[in-house]
């Protein structure tokens, strides 16, 4: 599932292509997205593209005085992708430079070009909102993410640390890949109760979270199977992962040499070094 760096990548790639464009229509082809249909989009200008947690939010300006702006929230879930097609109508393969592409579930047609919502497993969602969506938890890339704020959230939590990091009502945007990487970088056992961390460990956890997310965003996220940017390119951070997906390999930290282990926490794989993360 795309996490914060992947969604931020999509937003940063879409924003300059969509800003100021006029909408022609939204074509919804999948009955599961029937609630995304609107008749009042034609002529609206796209005022902005933003990320809220793991959601992509498109803002559509009002067309006349007295009309309210509206917001479309897109959640990619497991296999969703937003792909940019410079010319439309054209074949989806030609639009993205790929030979094969599943039919889009929805197409946002603009005055020039279009955005294709492709989602083979059909878990992704599109939802309208009258007000600007708000995050459900603290954004770990925002100015409010400090050691003090993280310590307040962790206080008294009995959940193991790694599953706690994935709670979207606490930190919005982290998922399985980066939660393993963050606990490794902070040298904290992912099985520790989240509320048991010392002040120094919370400081290390906050610093590791900011550092890893920023690096992943610079490399356009991580692709294992489905994630693609808006032009069909894949994320490049996979080659920088230190523990995720590396069970049985030597710990990459200098002087360690212990084997990376894999355990299951709340149904998800967790990777860690048993020596560095005591």
Active-site residue identified among 2, 104, 140, 163: 2
Active-site residue identified among 192, 211, 238, 268: 268
∠ at Cα 81 (224, 265), nearest 5°?
Answer: 45
Cβ-in-10-Å burial (0-12, 13-18, 19+) of 46 comes to buried
Q: Which tokens is 167 given?
A: 């709670």
Does 268 qualify as catalytic in the annotation?
yes
Active-site residue identified among 3, 8, 59, 172: 3
The number of beta carbons lying within 10 Å of the beta carbon of residue 149 is: 17
Query: Which conformational region is residue 156 in: left (phi greater than 0), alpha (psi within -120 to 50 degrees), or beta?
Result: left
Active-site residue identified among 45, 54, 242, 246: 54
Does 55 qualify as catalytic in the annotation?
no
Between helices 199-218 and 4-18, what is the axis angle to 10°? Answer: 40
Does 2 qualify as catalytic in the annotation?
yes
Residue entry with tokens 């790694």: 162
Task: Give backbone dihedrals phi and psi of 272, rounded to 5 degrees, phi first.
Answer: -160, 165
* DSSP E strand stretches across the chain: 23-28, 46-52, 55-60, 70-75, 81-85, 106-110, 114-118, 125-129, 261-265, 268-272
Between helices 147-154 and 199-218, what is the axis angle to 10°? Answer: 110
Does 54 qualify as catalytic in the annotation?
yes
* Residues classed as catalytic: 2-3, 54, 268
């Amino acid at each position: 599932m795309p996490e914060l760096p992947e969604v931020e990548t999509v937003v940063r790639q879409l924003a300059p292509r969509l800003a100021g464009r006029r909408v022609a229509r939204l074509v919804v082809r999948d009955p599961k997205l029937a609630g995304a249909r609107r008749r009042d989009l034609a002529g609206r200008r796209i005022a902005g593209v933003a990320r809220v947690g793991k959601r992509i939010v498109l803002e559509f300006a009002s067309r006349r005085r007295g009309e309210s702006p509206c917001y479309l929230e897109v959640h990619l879930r497991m296999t969703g992708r937003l792909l940019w097609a410079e010319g439309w109508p054209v074949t989806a393969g030609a639009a993205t430079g790929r030979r094969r592409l599943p039919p889009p579930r929805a197409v946002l047609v603009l005055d020039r070009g279009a955005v294709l919502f492709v989602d083979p497993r059909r878990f992704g969602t599109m939802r309208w909102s009258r007000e600007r969506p708000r995050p459900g938890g603290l954004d770990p890339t925002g100015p409010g993410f400090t050691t003090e704020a993280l310590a307040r959230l962790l206080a008294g939590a009995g959940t193991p640390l790694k599953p706690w990091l994935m709670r979207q009502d606490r930190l919005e945007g982290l998922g399985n890949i980066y939660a393993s990487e963050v606990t490794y970088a902070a040298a904290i056992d992912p099985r520790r109760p989240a509320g048991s961390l010392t002040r120094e460990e919370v400081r290390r956890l906050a610093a590791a979270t900011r550092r890893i997310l920023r690096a992943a965003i610079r490399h356009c996220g991580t692709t294992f199977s489905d994630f693609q940017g808006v032009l069909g390119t894949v994320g490049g951070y996979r080659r920088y992962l230190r523990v995720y997906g590396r069970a049985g390999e030597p710990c990459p930290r200098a002087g360690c040499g212990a084997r990376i282990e894999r355990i299951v926490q709340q149904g998800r794989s967790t990777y860690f070094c048993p020596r560095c993360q005591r």
